Amino acid sequence: MQKSVITTHILDTQRGRPAVGVGVRLFKSATGSVADPQWQSMASAATNDDGRIIDWLGTRERESGLYKLEFATGAYYAAQGLSTLYPQVDILFEIDTPTEHYHVPLLLSANGFSTYRGS
């Protein structure tokens, strides 16, 4: 399995388990500007049984720029019969060294979230 330059992992901290089946979309800014990003869709996938997406870009060339991960958290909680304060979580991040791997994890609960640069 090819590991893409951008990967993600979602941990449902409320349940203490990986968040399985969460829809995630990846976008790249056409302008590189946060004020007017003009998002272009690059890929979409759902998290696997370990809460990860590691193979969605395949061998696509690595590019610097502004990116966005869009997590469908509302649908994830609705499937469990729960509600959430955050029906969608968007994380913007910038790739400035395209030779490096960018892992963007999401720590998620129904009423909060956090992220960091993983390895």
pTM of the model: 0.93
Task: Give pLDDT tens digits for 32-67.
Answer: 999 999 999 999 999 999 999 998 877 677 789 999
Domains of the chain: 6-115 (2.60.40.180)
Residue (of 9, 13, 94, 115) closest to 55 by Cα position: 9
DSSP string, 63-102: --EEEEEEE-HHHHHHTTT---S-S-EEEEEEES-TTS-E
Query: What is the pLDDT confidence band of residue 2, given thresholds at 50, 70 and 90?
Result: low
